Amino acid sequence: MEKHQIKEYISHEKIQTKEYELAEQISKDYQGKDIYFICVLKGASVFAINLALKIKENVHLEFIEVSSYEGMESTGTIQLNKDITSSIEGKDVIIVEDIIDTGRTLNYLKEYLLTKNPKSLKICTLIDKKERRVVELEPDYSGFTIEDKFIVGYGLDLDEDYRNLPYIGIIE
């Protein structure tokens, strides 16, 4: 039973279409290469796996977990909860994120992962909230740019609820 009223904002069909577009671009950019996805847990897991399934090249999955949110607000403090377990040195790496908001988390991850000497490091996000950005950061691959709304579903949560919605919704 839902604790909040949720209105569909981005349909499952639109998400699927966008994933195919992103997969096509990534496959073209990395033709003949192995790609190392670093999925940012937990929110990006649904997007990362569905995107990987649509990519023609070989995709390795690695997971990293950071936290910076309490409820609906960013704390501004980033904590590394789970590190990657494989070496990415000399590899073509794409950080796969569910949403870029202030940009602090992705900036932290980018700087941290660059210390591990990947051959290349790019960022792919499903959702980009540009108007909330407080650090200079642009994703290399972006699904949807949205206004400043708190969204849930398709991996995005509110205190761990609603991740399994097949669409992206807005809490009303």
Instruction: Decide if 34 is catalytic.
Output: no
Question: CA–CA separation, 49 vs 42, rounded Å?
Answer: 12
CA distances from 117 to 51, 90, 92, 109 (A): 24, 6, 10, 13
CATH no. for 15-160: 3.40.50.2020
- For residues 79 and 14, the model is more confident at 14
pLDDT at 86 over 70: yes
pLDDT at 70 over 90: no
pLDDT at 1 over 60: no
- Point out the catalytic residue in the list 92, 98, 101, 128: 101
pLDDT, tens only, 24-64: 999 999 999 999 999 999 999 999 999 999 999 999 999 99
pLDDT at 118 over 90: yes
What is the model's pLDDT at position 3?
84
Question: CA–CA separation, 34 vs 148, rounded Å?
Answer: 35
What is the model's pLDDT at position 113?
98
Place 67 in a pLDDT band, splitting at 50, 70 and 90: confident
What are the structural domain ranges in the chain?
Answer: 15-160
CA distances from 68 to 39, 103, 128, 151 (A): 16, 11, 17, 16
Residue 67 and residue 79 in contact, taking contact as beta carbons nearer than 8 Å: yes
Mean pLDDT over residues 113-139, rounded? 96
pLDDT at 2 over 80: no
Mean pLDDT over residues 120-125, rounded? 98
35: CB partners within 8 A, 6+ apart = 26, 55, 57, 58, 59, 60, 92, 93, 94
| Percentage above 90 pLDDT, the chain | 87
| Percentage above 70 pLDDT, the chain | 94
Question: CA–CA separation, 36 vs 117, rounded Å?
Answer: 13
What is the model's pLDDT at position 74?
63
CA torsion angle 48 54 60 61 (round to 10): 20
What is the model's pLDDT at position 68?
74
Mean pLDDT over residues 100-128, rounded? 96
Question: CA–CA separation, 22 vs 5, rounded Å?
Answer: 31
